[in-house]
Amino acid sequence: MFKQFTIQAPSVRIEAELQHKIDNKTKPLGALGELESIAFQLGKIQQTTTPDVSKPQMIIFAADHGVVAQGISLFPQEVTPQMVMNFLMGGAAVSVFCEQHNVPLRIVDVGVNAELEAHPLLGARKVAFSSQDFSQQAAMTSTQLEQALQAGVDEANLAIDKGVNLLMFGEMGIGNTCVSSCMMTALIGVSAEDSAGRGTGLDSAGVSHKARIIEQSLQRAEKETGQLMSDWSAQTLAEQVGGFEILAMAGAMLQSAQRQTVFVVDGFICSVALLFAQKVAPDVREYAVFAHQSNEKAHKMLLSHLKAEPILSLDLRLGEGSGAILAYPLIQSACAFLNKMASFESAGVTDSK
């Protein structure tokens, strides 16, 4: 079995003090809406009434997927290493936004189907040159699963040991919406038709083809394991239909939670990583801030399943951590009002009581 995680939900002991501080700012009760919920969550996770997200980091995990051979993506697999280079050279959307908000960016190769040259922003943690085509065989071995999870654990530790107090995750991998939809179907039992979406821009025929491949892949895996997918362990599910970058994200989330560090969930693929992490250790969910609701059709269903309230809804469907970095200024604002806004008492303002 892969690495075990010991995660405890944040203590409730500070809740009353936090809520009192939020409620006694110079505003009507609840007037800052979701910012109040974010501030409360940040304070509870950090166990302080003065939460701090001044040392963030964005980590993008990248890998390729064998199932791309089944024609489930508009883009060829060589786009994955090309986009990794685009990230490293500062030309991608997430690169631009990270620069705008002074957030350090790191790209981690856990399974890109190419040899990548060393770069200061690149973490070399390649498990293999792509997963296997899970429509034909298991996506990975148990050893590869352990390595992918450990890559995420190691990256989270590296960041937190440097003082990072807010982690944001993104991903890159042609075909990974198909992998995510397949994992979602196996994890919560929705149909492949409901979980499969447009990804990088498939038309209706392409989406239907993707759903068929997902169904065939899960049938293959059930036959091979001799178990219904509803009975699969987290390990079996990951080995049969997982993706290296998705599992690395899950490992990073689990380790962040184990170290009581806030992390930001990006879009659909990142949310599936959290869904998998939750199967491993349910309390990981308590440390997650949800950045946005994406345009991928299954994301709304998945957020509802996770009982998540995303910060933004901008019709994004880019991935690569773009929604997470766009939500960061609002997370900063949640800290700012809690830490700096006057109370009724300090400002000499009469409250409504």
Task: Please list the active-site residues.
Answer: 320
Backbone phi and psi for residue 292, each to the nearest 5 degrees, phi listed first = -160, 165
3-class secondary structure, 119 = coil
Distance CA 192, CA 212 (A): 7
User: What value, to the nearest 5°, has the Cα angle with vertex 204 and ends 198 and 205?
Assistant: 115
Instruction: Give me the residue label for tokens 């990951």.
Output: 238
Burial of 348 (0-12, 13-18, 19+ CB in 10 A): exposed
Distance CA 197, CA 230 (A): 22
3-class secondary structure, 58 = strand
| List of residues 6+ apart from 34 with CB closer than 8 A | 309, 311
Distance CA 54, CA 42 (A): 12
Count the residues in the chain.
353
